[in-house]
Amino acid sequence: MEIKGSVLERLARLYFSLRRGDICEDCEWISSAIIAEHFDMDDTQIRKDLAVIGVKGRPRMGFKRQEVIDEVGGVLGLNKPNKSVVIGAGRLGGAISEYPGFKKYGVTISALFDNDPNKIGSVIGSCAVYSMDMLENEIRSNNIKLAVLTCPSSVAQEATNRLVKVGIKAIWNFSPKKIMVPEDVIVRNEHISVGLAGLTYHLNK
């Protein structure tokens, strides 16, 4: 059963908030009403989302916090390690490599790749920066399925083609370019400028 994107996103928010302790730090049980209040949502929605993945609550008690974390984490694929590579060792690639959250949530970065000789051989956030020539080797020998694209738009499609050819199945695309992939590869576009527009709209209204 394929879980819908909107449900996945809400489950992810719930997962990260519970792990971070934003909602209840030490409690054993948590009710859908408390969760809903934190996210400014309807409590029925919380129960329905958890029902989708088969998490059961208990009348008068609510849901077991640790069970929710474990089950949601399992469904989201965050309970076991996900190895990844980062294409582009600029500031954004560096920020992603250094972000402690990824390791915490099961995503480890195997290496960064760049064409800039000044960057090749350096280390960013405990990850080595390799030449793009090493890309295929690294991905194959570590059986990596996830790639983060932080390279310039001009080379995004070319990099994508190489990634797909060598077995990458999921691409997190931070370049503003639309990239083409075969049907069995999933792309998530992260166009942060779009969020900016919502703010400037309100400022200039």
Q: Which does 24 bind (CB under 5 to 8 A by kind): a second copy, DNA, none?
A: none
Compare residues 30 and 171 and give the one whose CB is closer to DNA. Answer: 30
The terminus-to-terminus CA distance of the chain in angstroms comes to 44
Q: Which does 111 bind (CB under 5 to 8 A by kind): DNA, a second copy, none?
A: none
Q: Which does 166 bind (CB under 5 to 8 A by kind): a second copy, DNA, none?
A: none
Q: What is d(CA 121, CA 56) in angstroms, rounded to the nearest whole number?
A: 50
Compare residues 6 and 126 and give the one whose CB is closer to DNA. Answer: 6
Pairing verdict, β 82-87 and 146-149: parallel
Compare residues 89 and 135 and give the one whose CB is closer to a second copy. Answer: 89
Instruction: Please classify residue 192 by burial: count the beta carbons closer than 10 Å to its beta carbon, then call 0-12 exposed, 13-18 middle and 19+ buried.
Output: exposed
Compare residues 3 and 180 and give the one whose CB is closer to DNA. Answer: 3
* Contacts of 170 by beta carbon, 8 Å cutoff, 6+ apart: 145, 146, 147, 185, 186, 187, 188
Q: Where are the alpha helices (DSSP H) in 3-134?
A: 5-20, 32-39, 43-52, 65-76, 91-98, 100-104
Query: Mask of contacts with a second copy, 28-57, x by CB under 8 A?
Result: ----------x-------------------
Q: Please report, as ranges, the residues that interact with a second copy according to CB under 8 A.
A: 3, 5, 8-9, 11-13, 15-16, 20, 22, 38, 75-78, 80, 82, 90-92, 94-95, 98-99, 101-102, 105-107, 145-146, 169-172, 176-178, 186, 188, 190-205
